[in-house]
Structure 1
Amino acid sequence: MSQSAEQVRDRARALYEARAKRVPIAPFTDQNPELGMDDGYAVQRELTALLLADGDAVIGYKAGLTSVPMQEMFGVSTPDYGPVFASTVLADGANVSPEAFIAPKVEAEIVFRLGVPLRGPGVTVEQARAAVGEVMAGLEIVDSRIEDWRIRLADTIADLASNGAVVLGTPVPVDPSVDYRLLGLAFSRGGALLATGAGAAALGDPAAVVAWLANTLGERGITLEAGQLIMTGALHAAVPLLPGDTFVAEFDRLGAITLRVDKP
């Protein structure tokens, strides 16, 4: 790592206060461009501890940078991850206030819930698929506590992989006959189609995201527990969230979910 323990604490506190006050901060990599993935995760762990101390709870994990274009943008060949907190989970049809975020965007993705624990290293895609108990439609609100989304890899990892909130659809039992790589999506705003996608946009197979998470976290001594959510990554480019918007994600086999944004 290229930062001291004191810097880790200071950066986590800065992100914590930015989240609380809805006031963004400058990228850490502006002053320290050498910061990398391990530096980002060190800050993320400290920030997670601060949020847990406030009474929140980690109920799963999100994977980011699961598509080749996003990895190329950040100059990496691997996804990143962040915890999902209970306080950020919303039900289908939720109304959100744009003032609850700093610079929110919306993206649709497939979300799994584990039926049994999973711990790497060595977890295969087949083992990951077998560990999943339920699948549901998801709309993630990504948000950045970093000014103007001027993020490099260490910045977004430190900032909980830019997670803001997630809307979850009705859970559906996993069907072994369904190939989730081929699960289709139509994403619209105000009735106008904005994007289409398929499960294969997430690391080639959403189940591969689960395996990657289990193996990556396992190297850090963390087990994916039964009941935890796994957000497998965006299936299309994120869209800005604006007052008065209504977003709908229609998934094959999983149904449709809706997110409404309050007007001023």
Structure 2
Amino acid sequence: MTTTAALNAAAMQLIAATETGVPCAPVRDIIGETDQDAAYQVQARVTEHRLAGGQRIVGRKIGLTSRSVQAQLGVHSPDFGTLFGDMAYADREPMPLGRFLQPRIEAEVAFVLGRDLDVESANVADVVRATDCVLAAIEVVDSRISGWDITISDTIADNASSGAFVLGTMPRLLHEVDLPGLGMVIEQRGQVVSAGAGAACLGSPVTAVVWLARALARQGAPLRAGDVILSGALGPVVPVTAPGVLTARLSGLGDVSAQFVEGVSG
């Protein structure tokens, strides 16, 4: 069993990396490579630190929805993290590169809930009824771990490697979009740099949200009306190494663009 001192040490290591902008060593060196329960306890400590600093929770993100990525990390299910208010950006709103350590982007479908999802037995029908709308989204994934040298415990502890997110401005009702058949491309300077489909996300983004609803209800922290849910990557991630605009085009959901600029966040 991971000790309280070890959990606190891992959390402080991640907090220090965020505050200094200097990536840290893997926290698996402290909590072990495969202890997901310990990793979520570290994540909770980092979340408490952010809330104490004045942040607010606006939703959740789902990670590891690709079967190939799960295989790489030796796991058989997704993971989740928390979205905070200061992570949210509007379409083409400037995002200072300096707020990130090692940013990458991926295109996703965002769900906005109109009802709570608070039962451990949540199913597809429950998710359909609870969803107010879906939007095109870009997630900026980031790692406080040096060189993205991560195992499952590292990424869970590090808030599922979250950084920021950008929401599109064309909300659609769930039944208006063929989510499994949805096509996606990310373009940079007119060139396609990533491509994928809704089926890459556990067969359908709806399936991913069902998994999340059940997991959070079991923990006693269920999804609530108004929450934004990033349902998981639709294709390969794209590293961000310089200022510029990357645009994700999702069939049926329109476009959304992430604009990276020089500087740091205020």
- Are 1:48 and 2:44 an aligned pair? no
Paired letter, 1:113:
V
Give a deviation string over 1:182-206, Cα, whole Å, max 9, x none. Answer: 1211211111011221111111111
SS of match in other structure, 2:187:
strand
After superposition, give the CA deviation of every residue in 1:11-56 in whole Å (9 maximum; x if it has no partner): 1122112111111110022355444211110100011000000010
Distance 1:165 1:190 in 2: 22
**Distance in 1 between residues matched to 2:12 and 2:5, nearest whole Å:** 11
Give the Cα–Cα distance (whole angstroms) in 2 for the partners of residues 140 and 175 of structure 1. 20
Partner of 2:12: 13
TM-score (norm 2): 0.95
Match of 2:177? 178
Q: Distance in 2 between matches of 1:213 and 1:62?
A: 9
* 1:84 alignment partner in structure 2: 83
Structure 2 counterparts to residues 212-251 of structure 1, below 5 A: 212-251=211-250
Where do residues 115-264 of structure 1 align in structure 2 (5 Å cutoff)? 115-263=114-262
- Once residues 35 and 206 of structure 1 are traced to their aligned partners in structure 2, the CA distance between those partners, rounded to angstroms, is 26
1:62-81 alignment to 2 at 5 Å?
Answer: 62-81=61-80
Letter matched to residue 249 of structure 2? E
Q: Distance in 1 between matches of 2:157 and 2:145?
A: 10
CA shift at 1:175, angstroms?
4.0
**Equivalent residues of 1:98, 1:261 under 8 A apart:** yes
**CA distance 1:177–1:244, change in 2 (3 Å):** closer
Deviation of 1:253 (Å): 1.8
Distance 1:164 1:130 in 2: 29
| Other structure's SS at 2:175 match | coil
Deviations 1:70-127 (A, max 9, x none): 1101101100000011110000002222221111111111100011100131111222
CA contact (8 A) 2:108 2:234 kept: yes
Q: Which amino acid aligns with 2:231?
A: T
228-237 or 6-15: bigger deviation: 6-15
What runs of 5+ residues in structure 2 fail to find an aligned partner?
none
CA separation of 1:263/1:191 partners in 2, compared to 1, >3 Å: closer, same or farther? farther
Deviations 1:231-250 (A, max 9, x none): 00111111110213320001
Match in the other structure for 1:95: 94
Q: Which moved more, 1:6-15 or 1:221-230?
A: 6-15
Whole-Å Cα distance in 1 between the matches of residues 166 and 153 of structure 2?
26
3-state SS in 2 of match to 1:73 = helix
Contact 2:6 2:30 in 1 (8 A): no
Asked whether the 8 Å contact 2:172–2:253 carries over to 1, the reply is: no
Preserved CA contact (<8 Å) 1:249 1:257: yes
SS at match of 1:181: coil
Q: Is the 8 A contact 1:242 1:261 kept in 2?
A: no
TM-score using structure 1 length = 0.95
Asked if 1:38 corresponds to 2:44, the answer is no
Q: Distance in 1 between matches of 2:133 and 2:33?
A: 40
User: Please, what is the CA RMSD of the aligned residues?
Assistant: 1.4
Cα separation, 2, equivalents of 1:74 and 1:102: 22
Paired-residue identity, %:
37
Q: Which structure 1 residue ranges, 5 or more long, are not aligned?
A: none
The structural deviation recorded for 1:252 is 1.3
1:195-228 Cα distance to aligned partner (Å, 9 max, x none): 2211111111111111111100111111210010
Count of matched residue pairs? 263
Checking the alignment, whether the CA contact within 8 Å between 2:31 and 2:39 is kept in structure 1 is no
